[in-house]
Amino acid sequence: MIAKKIGVVAPLEDLHAQAVRHIAEKNGNCIFHFCSDAVSDLPSTARFGCEERMPSQLIDSTGTQHSIDEFSTLWWRRPYAAQRVIELAHSSRDESEVINNSARLHLEGLFRTGFRGRFINDPSAAQRAEHKLVQLHSAEAIGLRIPQTISTNDYDVVQSFFEQVAGDAIVKSHFNSATLQIKTSRLTRDMLANEASVRISPCIYQKFIPGTEHLRVVALKDRHQAVRFLSDEVDSRIDLSHRATPYILDANLEHKVFALLNELNLDFGVLDFKRDVSGALYFLEINQQGQFAFLDAVAGTSCLPMVTEFLLSSGPRDHAHT
């Protein structure tokens, strides 16, 4: 009989990883935490080409060693994290790059080659789903309404788009990182005066959606919870001043949410929508490991228990990973 263990790969102080572990333990279950930012403290080994095949070994946050083949489910929450040791070592920029990339590639390689269970989410699917253009393309393909969008660094195209939407446009980045977060902003004629600034970096330009209602949907393969925010500003993750309430999706939207997860080959995702002044709902983006713990605090949902239960009840897929 194969032992069924559940693991999460995330930084040591990851709020979501700690919260689901706490909920699991309260119910007599265990979720093991593999710290993606503490590789130097928690060594791990993968072996190849040996006479006797040995499963990869790794140590969890409590210092306990595990064989990777003992696990049936792995929450691939935040596998790529800056290593904590860099600050202790006062590493140079080049050294930091080596340390971080070595940790990332080792951990990912170890899990991709040794883990035979179910990733939440599959690493390849997760990487693909991080692309905003892929998200929009897939959302449109399954019938979700999306804002008029271009991704370009062609100055003429941007100018033409700006005029076409009568100046009601936003510009957003393809990427953010933990250290560099670039806010979406309204596009102005002044910003467009500098052609070089358009050409130097392709961006996403969208027609601005006027409205005050935002939906955040935390979706798993077979279950979801949603929260509605009412505000003419998008609240922060921990803004208690805006009205936030649990929201029931209609059957059509629910179906499309699951269809999008399926289209992107994801088991988990956090989707953002905005409703315009005419009532039309627009898909904005999906974060394949988006934040959701704060929703329980601000709106009284039970997303953390839902995700915990999903992890504990998930089994291996027919095709675990590629």
Partner 1 sequence: MSSNRGDKQNKSVTVEYNGTKPIVMVGVWPHDVKMLNSPDELAEWERRMEAFTGVKYDAKAIIQGGGGCCGGDQDGMCDMVQ
Q: Which stretch binds partner 1 (CB under 8 A): 6-14, 59-67, 137-145, 255-263?
A: 6-14
196 touches partner 1 by CB under 8 A? yes
The whole-angstrom separation of Cα 109 and Cα 97 is: 18
Cβ at position 201, least distance to partner 1 in Å: 3
184 touches partner 1 by CB under 8 A? yes
* Cα 64 to Cα 37, 158, 165, 226, 321, distances in angstroms: 17, 55, 58, 37, 25
Applying CB under 8 A, the site for partner 1 has a residue count of 70
The whole-angstrom separation of Cα 218 and Cα 226 is: 6
Of 238-257, binders to partner 1 (CB under 8 A) are 238-242
Q: Which stretch binds partner 1 (CB under 8 A): 28-36, 109-117, 231-239, 244-252?
A: 231-239
Cβ at position 278, least distance to partner 1 in Å: 16
Q: Which of 150, 287, 316, 320 binds partner 1 (CB under 8 A)?
A: 287
Of 152-171, binders to partner 1 (CB under 8 A) are 156, 170-171
290 touches partner 1 by CB under 8 A? yes
272 touches partner 1 by CB under 8 A? yes
∠134-254-264 over CA atoms, to 5°? 25
291 touches partner 1 by CB under 8 A? yes
Q: Tell me whether residue 156 or residue 222 sits nearer to partner 1 (CB atom).
A: 156
Residue 265, both tokens: 């080959």
**Other CB atoms within 10 A of residue 160 CB:** 12
∠6-226-81 over CA atoms, to 5°? 45
24 touches partner 1 by CB under 8 A? no
208 touches partner 1 by CB under 8 A? yes
The whole-angstrom separation of Cα 290 and Cα 44 is: 27
Specify whether the CB–CB gap between 36 and 11 falls below 8 A.
yes
Closest to 284 in 3D by CA, of 147, 170, 129, 181: 147
Q: Tell me whether residue 84 or residue 242 sits nearer to partner 1 (CB atom).
A: 242
Residue 56, both tokens: 């990869």
**Other CB atoms within 10 A of residue 125 CB:** 19
101 touches partner 1 by CB under 8 A? no
Cβ at position 54, least distance to partner 1 in Å: 34
270 touches partner 1 by CB under 8 A? yes
Segments in 3-81 forming alpha helices (H) = 15-26
Residue 266, both tokens: 């994801």
Give me the residues that bind partner 1 (CB under 8 A), please: 11, 13-16, 18-19, 22-23, 26, 78, 147, 156, 170-173, 176-178, 181-188, 191-192, 194-201, 203, 206, 208-209, 216, 233-242, 270, 272, 274, 284-291, 293-294, 296-298, 304
